[in-house]
Amino acid sequence: MGVLVLNAGYEPLHTVSLPHAIRMLVRQVAVVHESHGPDLGVFPRPKVVRLLRYVVMKWRYSGPPRWSRSGVLRRDRHTCAYCGRQATTVDHITPVSRGGARTSWLNTVAACGGSARSCNARKADRTPAEAGLTLRFPPRVPRWEELHPLAGLST
C-alpha cells in the first residue's frame, strides 16, 4: 500500500511509494500527517503526508477518470454485477469480439470469476441476454472521489 498525499488544504491528491514519500520529506515539500510502524531514521514511517504548498488540481477534474480494471472493481465495490457475489475480474457487457468497447466505463462491470461456475465463465463471449444473465446495476462513469484508495476515510 502506498502513502497517501494530501494537498495543503487536506484533500487527497494521490498515493506515492514509500521511497517517494521519504524524498518529499527530505526536500521539505511535505510533512508527515499520519505515521505507523517503526521510524525510518529521522522520519517516522509515513502513512499520510501533507504538502506544505497548495497544488491546484484543476487538471484532475477537467474530465472523467481514465478507465482501469481496478477502477471498475472499486466502482462496483467488488460486487458481481450479475449475481452479487464477490467480484474478482472485469467483464465486457458487449464482448470486444462482437464490437464492444475494449476499455469503457459503460461497457465493463465487475464479475465473479475463477471457476467454471462463475458468471464470467457462464457469460463467455455472449451478451448478458444470450447467457441468461441480467445486470443488477447499470455501469456508469465513476466520480474521481470513488476511485481514490482511501475514499470515505477521515484523515
pLDDT tens readout for residues 66-113: 899 999 999 999 999 999 999 999 999 999 999 988 889 999 999 998
Q: What is the mean pLDDT of residues 124-147?
A: 92
Amino acid identity of residue 26, one-letter, is V
What pLDDT shows up at residue 155? 38
Buried-state track 81-92, b at ≥16 Cβ within 10 A, e below 16 = bbbeeebebbbb
First-to-last CA distance in the chain? 16
pLDDT at 154: 41
**pTM: predicted TM-score of the whole model, two decimal places:** 0.64
Tell me the three cell numbers of residue 111.
464479475
**Least confident residue range of 11-20, 56-65, 135-144:** 56-65
Q: How many CA atoms lie within 13 A of 10 on its CB side?
A: 5
Distance, in Å, from the CA atom of 72 to the CA atom of 109, rounded to the nearest integer, reads: 6
Query: What pLDDT, on the 0 to 100 scale, is given for residue 102?
Result: 87
Using CA atoms, how far apart are residues 32 and 68, in angstroms rounded to an integer? 30
Instruction: Report residue 150's pLDDT band, with 50, 70 and 90 as the boundaries.
Output: low
Length of the chain: 155
The residues, any chain, with a CB within 8 Å of residue 26's CB and separated by 6 or more, are none
